[in-house]
């Protein structure tokens, strides 16, 4: 039984794209999915199901931060038997090797959240992406000539961090970008034996201070969305 998603059985596709913003989920449905139907508006967290290149796919908002992401990802995996979730969002760059408007395909997701400490105690669990989804996304990016890099993300519980030096230290260890949801998503996918990936467009750079305009974010997000959708289509094809 789902508490926060009011969809009837069968209304949600096996594959779900998850932006943080519920209005972004609506935009995905209107822009990329054919015959999209809204299945959820509980608490304003919109969800839609349609088709892309003949594959049934849903778009579901997750809200901001890992606790919110965890609620929706848990219910999708547990109550609706979703097979794969791809987070599609933005991030801040931590490394000079990454540029604004690049797309980071998150191989791993470090975090300052206490959520996994509640699960594992003194053990530091290392959440990671599903390799098939990651590989498909990278191939799709290459096919589009989209500037994409594979590497680690940092999922922070605080947008306005009182300790910015932590991000700088993580950058020394090769972490490429900071966002707020991937670690919880990867952990839940591992719990349920499902697939997950986070792909994030770099919207601002914490080192150089460069930022994208709203129009630039939109255009780059379009490219990233096609990359994520094509990665799902390729995975579905391999199951046929």
Q: Which residues of 223-238 are buried (b: 16+ CB within 10 A; e: fewer)?
A: bbbbbbbbbbbbbbee
Pairwise CA distance, residues 95 & 176, whole Å: 5
Can you give the C-alpha Rg of the chain in angstroms? 17
Pairwise CA distance, residues 129 & 40, whole Å: 27
Q: CB pairs under 8 A, 24+ apart, for 163-167? A: 164/206, 166/112, 167/94, 167/206
Residues designated as active site: 204
Pairwise CA distance, residues 29 & 102, whole Å: 23
Pairwise CA distance, residues 156 & 177, whole Å: 10
Cβ proximity of 199 and 227 under 8 Å: yes
| Three-state secondary structure call for residue 90 | strand
Question: CB neighbours (10 Å) of residue 79?
Answer: 16
Q: 86 has which bridge partners?
A: 17, 197
Q: How far apart are the first and last CA of the chain?
A: 29
């Amino acid at each position: 039984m789902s508490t926060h998603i009011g969809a009837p059985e069968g209304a949600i596709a096996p594959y779900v794209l998850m932006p943080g913003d519920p209005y972004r989920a609506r935009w995905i449905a209107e822009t990329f999915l054919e015959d999209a139907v809204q299945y959820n508006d509980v608490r304003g967290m919109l969800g839609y199901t349609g088709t892309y290149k003949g594959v049934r796919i849903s778009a579901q908002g997750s809200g901001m931060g890992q606790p919110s992401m965890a609620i929706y990802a848990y219910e999708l995996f547990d109550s609706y038997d979703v097979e794969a979730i791809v987070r599609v969002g933005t991030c801040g760059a931590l490394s000079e090797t990454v540029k604004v408007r690049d797309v980071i395909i998150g191989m791993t997701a470090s975090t300052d959240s206490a959520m996994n400490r509640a699960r594992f105690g003194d053990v530091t669990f290392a959440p990671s992406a599903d390799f098939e989804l990651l590989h498909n996304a990278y191939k799709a990016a290459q096919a589009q000539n989209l500037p994409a890099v594979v590497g680690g993300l940092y999922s922070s519980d605080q947008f306005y961090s009182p300790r910015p030096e932590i991000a700088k230290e993580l950058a020394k260890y090769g972490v490429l970008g900071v966002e707020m949801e991937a670690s919880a998503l990867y952990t839940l996918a591992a719990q349920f034996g499902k697939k997950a990936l986070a792909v994030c467009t770099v919207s601002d750079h914490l080192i150089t201070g460069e930022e994208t305009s709203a129009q630039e974010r939109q255009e780059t997000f379009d490219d990233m969305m096609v990359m994520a959708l094509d990665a799902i289509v390729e995975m579905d094809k391999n199951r046929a």
